[in-house]
Amino acid sequence: MKIGIDLLWVRPGKCGGTESYIRNLLEGFLAYDKENEYILLTAKNNARSFRKYTKKPMMKLIVCNVTSSNRMYRVLWENIHLDAVAASCRVDVLFIPMYNKPLKHGSGIPYVNVIHDIQVMHYPKNFSWVRRIFQRYAYWNTCRTTDRLITISNFCKNDLIRHFPFVKDKIEMIYIPIITKESQLDFHIIEEKYPIQKDRYYYCVSSMTPHKNLSTLLKTMTQEKERKLVISGVGGREEQVKKIIRELHIEERIVLTGYVSDEERDCLYENCSLFLFPSVFEGFGMPPIEAMRKGKRVVMTRKTCLEEVTQKKAVYVEDPFSVEEWRKKINYARTLPEEKTAFREYEMPAIIERYIKVLTAAAERTLSSGAESRTCYQRRDCFGIHSER
């Protein structure tokens, strides 16, 4: 079976958890799928970051004439050309690990989409009116027309069914695969880069969007005298976060790292005192699990899927916006011993097996009907694309 994967949307270092998710998945396909072939449809500006996955002949890179940074043009290009490009590559199923499915799909290729959350339905004020309209329509269109839909937590599955009841019979929940590695980075390198000391800082991995609730965490730090707070993440309203830091006069206690490599992030996990996660809306929430796998004590909210995916093994605040409760729970967590949590539900082999099963089921009708419906798309040069090994 030949599986196409849409990666045009990836802006390296700027997509947060969704980028980590798809890269983990690609690593899993490489390691555990010995039968299928993968066609990675990439953009001109992100192709280099995916070349490492072509180290085995099972994965081939197709570079499309579009850039991920120009989102409006990229979405337009996908809607007009993506289906035809996939057909020209003669894929049996097209996997789009995002919510946006192209309108034009005359090739007969079955689609499998992933919806990570429908935040816009809960926090519309966090989005411009144009994006609100676009995303609401995209969710509806994808739920209506995709052949199979994957979502990443039971919370998200139930949320989608509540808003789009007609998707019930085609939706499947598969947790995100999480890769946990020991950092090979010497902490002295971190100390030289940031003004922190080992076990003398709290750590948080988060974008700067309002639903991440960083403002409450920053207010909590006004009474903290012994430790700093390190926040790693990109996207959202960084200037607003910096403004809050200045207004609270806690510049000396807060370290904003921006984007960090996986190795640097892992080193920051391993040497922090506690991991804090104040978010009030997540489709999954990888960082607390990554921290707990490394043995770190985690203080976080119970909101949306978070108690589900952390399996009630963290320290939870009942009121996410209560500074007093955050202080109490942080002090309590510091008295607990560190202990690694395995979270075997997020290990790669079983998750990859389930993905292959869904993709295979969606492709069955294409595999049985042959390639007749795609014979008109055999010339790739008309789409401005080229292949790489």
CATH class of 2-177+347-388: alpha beta
3-class SS of residue 364: helix
Summarize pLDDT for 325-368 with one digit per residue, the tens.
999 999 999 999 999 999 999 999 999 999 999 999 999 865 55
Question: pTM higher than 0.85, yes or no?
Answer: yes
Superfamily of domain 187-333: Glycogen Phosphorylase B; (3.40.50.2000)
Domain boundaries, given as residue ranges, for the chain: 2-177+347-388, 187-333
Backbone angles phi, psi at 63, to 5 degrees: -95, 120
Ramachandran area for residue 138 (φ above 0: left; ψ -120 to 50: alpha; else beta): alpha
What are 215's two structure tokens?
């403002």
254-258 and 274-277 beta bridge pairing: unpaired
Summarize pLDDT for 247-268 with one digit per residue, the tens.
999 999 999 999 999 999 999 9
Share of the chain above pLDDT 70, in %: 94
231-267 burial by CB neighbour count: b if 16+ within 10 A, else e? bbbbebbeeebeebbeeeebeebbbbbeebeeebbbb
SS3 content of the chain, % helix, strand, coil (to 5): 45, 15, 35
The Cα–Cα gap between 292 and 260 comes to 19
Summarize pLDDT for 62-96 with one digit per residue, the tens.
999 999 999 999 999 999 999 999 999 999 999 99
Q: Which long-range contacts does 52-55 make (Cβ < 8 Å, 24+ apart)?
A: 53/26, 53/27, 54/388, 54/389, 55/30
The domains spanning 2-177+347-388 and 187-333 adopt the same CATH topology: yes
Residue 197: its H or E element: none
3-class SS of residue 152: coil
